[in-house]
Structure 1
């Protein structure tokens, strides 16, 4: 859930006040350390004091700018660079040291105030939205038969679809309620403007653009370019293969309404880590923050982050060292690591990235930039993870993973005294589809069934592609009679779908078998019973659902 803006701003303001209180202690400490540095009587002692000062100035440079103390952050950064130059010099000059000490005294005595209003994190795109059971789709198609067929087919997939033949009617509906997506025909001969011109103007009026899918008889470059400029996320030539269009809708909604991204922040600066956490949570991300790098293993295993944000300079274990520890574990190789540091030296940044890491973000960073950087990496990481752990054609669990879910739900059902149903589904005469219409058409049929199952089943249900045209569903806390009603409704909706290949329309059916957990059954026996019930449905004539004896 996205934190309300006023609550978020109140918490950010509180953190800013805490940081200001911290400055009241840290700035006098800088003056004391400058005095100790001035009194040091040998280069070795001077070097030790300077190393401590450099680390403190580095943290101050990053944190001050983030909390809005811009001048303080810039001053601390300049003094940090002076300290680094003195430490790196082959022959240290006392004049450089005197200049640094004078700068430290000057910095510690100045009065600093917040100079920069913090951005509202809610101006950034959210990683997900609150999901509704049924997505509302508005269709603008001037040909009644085509539009009505599209409406009915999308309704079979579980969408709340409404069809409009005129722009004026669609405008009136938009005034009452915004949809979750728009499907618009480019060619509207009876209108004063094209569908794309209307869509582009509409998107400009909205606070947040709607997912837009375009249908047209023209698939030339100029039309597709205009569609992209109007914000189109899908482009389909007539006659439209509606299951393909629905598959694109499914992908759009998966990105918009998916689970929040998980982000782990590792920073020994508690106020800074808290601030980053608040900003990212305000963008609807799940965030955990830890201040001790030694706790990394438990957080990585239990939280399973999709992005790790690391501070570079931490006592006891630096960011690059921690990144290398993470990379020692194969299970975390896919997790992007972003360094978040006040380090501006390109050579040091590249050194950190070469050891382990994927990106380097320099403090201070605006709220919008932080959210954008994390969002881009998390989105890419999830896509990669899904590509490796899920079936590439359907996005469902692979064979081994869905079988594991059967065992998990069986154990849970026995422990809780509930019933779970296991459903084996198979597309009837699938070989004929491939032989008659080609393998791409067969793939489209498989995707359509996968999307229909996703639409009609619950979030707690598990879905997997068991192999070829066969699917497996695990329905926890679902007695067999209830499972039968649900799966039979899906069977009917699937039979009502129409697929189009080179102008030829065809339909496909499915058969299914259902088994149910009990105290005397194992996971493998549960699967065998569902498979036998599926075979019985095939033997009885297909296009039906049977329960195991």
Structure 2
């Protein structure tokens, strides 16, 4: 087990030990309250509500920490209390028996927690994501040379293998970040697919084939392919799919906010989700909700249904009053098993209902699928459909945020305006589909070459804006010049014609008191200067 796995196991065991201490205090208190019930004290009915809440919490949390018997028995007793309270006509003898059964349950020593191992270790097996390593299986040497060069211009480290056997041997020595397999022999697909079952996390697999029929694509899906392309190959589309697959596997962690008054249980969930590379914050006070939403910007909210002072559905409805948080997925967490009550909570506000206790893997799977949909929805609303970059208004908003941050920190932010040279000629000569391909290729290239902290937007048509925080204009020029050179080397094809395209760019750097629009106007003037002086160059604002 890795050091990270051992640390996770240590933290989980510490939480289990703390929960055991909590049981040693809660169970005697539950026995004391049950004593009032079965001894027919006048306040017996008044204590039933508190007993029900204590049983409810145990039913939801005990199983998560390994005390399965305690959780199961607590759930059965909670259901009996509910039935007694709802009937309203039960005899005193049935109430007396209920009190005795609760007291008997609470007076038993809980069994030691069942042995658990961290189900949730999800450590990246591909090393650091600095240079993205791609293994390419291609039997045609000329096709392989072109793909290696083009993908290299996009920033990938590509290793070419002529046979499936050589690919399998290389993968056994060192894992790549993704596989691209060009099918030329009948057993190429089977040999490439055979690599995956032995891996902790399957690799993104893209296939290239001559055939475009249903059976071939079905076979690709069964082999674990996440992309399927036919010859002649549109390598720009292949690179875009490759980037999408890698972003899913190596992209920014999903952000999850947990709101639960049971902090030990919330911490347990947090550890499980963090082990799966999610970013998690825990909030025990609902009153700090909006502060947490603004500061953390979660994609998924895990919300306990029963909390003192404010129920989960009430909190969810409060969130839904604000349009800016409509994209947040709300998942209720509760020991409630009554489907009618679950549906009532979902109807008011919410997207899913998870019943406690839940295993680590089940929790991760549920949260991951919801977070993935939430991010896809957010991207669809904020990003350009052709390039996946931020839209005009959104990149201007990012620019404003970074300019304000630069004014506070005193560190420079650079704004870059880029424009594709003679783009109208590309559309007129090769068609709008080819023009779209060029735009998409430049967007993909910039995403690969810039940092995660940089913001990229399609400003309009063939014009782009990049915002580079903590970056001087001189530093930005070196980066953008490299992108310009790489872009000029890309080879595009349309109607059996091959062609190249260039770009021009202008760069401006923040200064004291400068407004976002001023910065953008300076970059735009520098871009005009680059165009006016011959194009295919990068100019700094004067």
TM range, smaller chain: over 0.9
152, 155, 179: which one aligns with 2:152? 155
Question: Normalised by the size of structure 2, how large is the TM-score?
Answer: 0.94
Report what 1:36 is aligned to. Answer: 36
Q: In the alignment, which residue of structure 2 is the partner of 1:22?
A: 22
Cα distance in 2 for partners of 1:458, 1:95 equals: 71
Distance across 2 between alignment mates of 1:352 and 1:458: 42
Query: Aligned ranges for residues 387-536 of structure 1 at < 5 Å?
Result: 387-519=380-512, 521-536=514-529
CA distance in 2, matches of 1:127, 1:308: 25
The range that moved more, 402-411 or 48-57, is 402-411
Moved more, 162-171 or 311-320: 162-171
Count of aligned residue pairs for this structure pair: 541
Distance 1:162 1:86, change over 3 A: same
Q: Deviations over 1:224-282 (max 9, x none)?
A: 11111111111111111111111111111111111111111111112211211111122
Residue 338 (1) aligns with residue 331 (2): yes
SS at match of 1:31: helix
Rounded Cα–Cα distance in structure 1 between residues aligned with 2:288 and 2:454: 33
Measured at CA, do residues 524 and 293 of structure 1 come closer, stay the same or move farther in structure 2, by a change above 3 Å? closer
- CA shift digits 1:328-358 (9 cap, x unpaired): 2221111111111111111111111111111
CA contact (8 A) 2:526 2:539 kept: yes
Q: Offset at 1:502? A: 4.9
Gaps of 5+ in 2: none
Q: In structure 1, how many angstroms separate the alpha carbons of the residues matched to 2:495 and 2:93?
A: 82
Query: Which of 293, 297, 300 is 1:304 aligned to?
Result: 297
1:275–1:522: structure 2 CA closer, same or farther, 3 Å change rule? Answer: closer
**SS of equivalent to 2:281:** strand
Instruction: Please state whether the residue corresponding to 2:78 is helix, strand or coil.
Output: helix
Report 1:133-152 matches (<5 A).
133-152=130-149
Per-residue CA distance 1:176-234 (angstroms, 9 max, x = gap):
3211111101113xxxx522111111112323211111011111111111111111111
**Equivalent pair of 1:67/1:114 in contact (CA under 8 Å):** no
Give the RMSD, CA atoms, in angstroms: 2.2
Q: 1:46 to 1:436 in 2, by over 3 A?
A: farther
Does the Cα contact within 8 Å between 1:461 and 1:474 map onto a contact in 2? yes
How far the C-alpha of 1:129 sits from its partner, in A, is 8.2
| 1:264 paired residue among 242, 257, 270 | 257
2:169 maps to 1:172: yes
Change (3 A) 1:99 1:501: farther
Q: Is 2:102 the partner of 1:109? A: no
Would you say the 8 A contact 1:128–1:255 is kept in 2? no
Aligned to 2:59: 61
Are residues 128 and 436 of structure 1, via their aligned partners in 2, closer, same or farther at CA, if it must alter by over 3 Å? farther
Contact 2:66 2:114 in 1 (8 A): yes
CA contact (8 A) 1:129 1:257 kept: no
1:83 to 81, 84, 92: 81
* 8 A contact 1:119–1:368 mirrored in 2: no
Deviations along 1:366-421, whole A, 9 cap, x unmatched? 11111111111111111111111222222222212322333443444444444433
Q: Which whole-Å CA distance do the structure 1 matches of 2:422 and 2:3 have between them? A: 51
Contact 1:127–1:256 (Cα < 8 Å) also in 2: no
Q: Give the Cα separation in 2 of the matches to 1:326 and 1:374.
A: 19
Q: Give yes or no for contact 1:129–1:256 (8 Å, CA) kept in 2.
A: no
Q: Secondary structure at the match of 1:4?
A: helix
Contact 1:33 1:49 in 2 (8 A): yes
The DSSP-based 3-state class of the residue aligned with 2:194 is helix
1:377 aligned to 363, 367, 370, which one? 370
User: Per chain length, whose mean CA-contact separation is higher, i.e. which structure has more relative contact order (CA < 8 Å, sep 6+)?
Assistant: 1
Of 527, 539, 542, which residue of structure 2 is paired with 1:546?
539
C-alpha change, 1:285 and 1:133, in structure 2 (3 Å) is same
Moved more, 503-512 or 447-456: 503-512
How much does 1:40 deviate? 4.1
* Structure 2 residue aligned with 1:46: 44
Q: Distance in 2 between matches of 1:340 and 1:135?
A: 38
**Residue 318 of structure 1 corresponds to which residue in structure 2?**
311
- Deviation of 1:483 after TM superposition, in Å, equals 2.5
Aligned pair in 2 of structure 1 residues 74, 460: CA closer, same or farther (>3 Å)? Answer: closer
| Distance of aligned partners of 1:382 and 1:244 in 2 relative to their CA distance in 1, 3 Å threshold | same
Q: Which moved more, 1:476-485 or 1:101-110?
A: 476-485
Q: Are the equivalent residues in 1 in contact too, given 2:168–2:195 (CA < 8 A)? A: no
Q: Distance in 2 between matches of 1:522 and 1:294?
A: 36
Distance 1:386 1:111 in 2: 52
Q: Which residue of 2 aligns with 1:198?
A: 191
Partners of 1:356 and 1:413 in 2: how far apart? 39
SS of 1:104's equivalent?
helix
Q: Does the aligned pair in 2 maintain the 1:134–1:159 contact within 8 Å?
A: yes
- CA shift digits 1:141-187 (9 cap, x unpaired): 00000011000000000111111112233233223321111110111
Equivalent residue for 1:120? 118
TM-score (norm: length of structure 1): 0.93
Whether the 8 Å contact between 1:128 and 1:260 is mirrored in structure 2 is: no
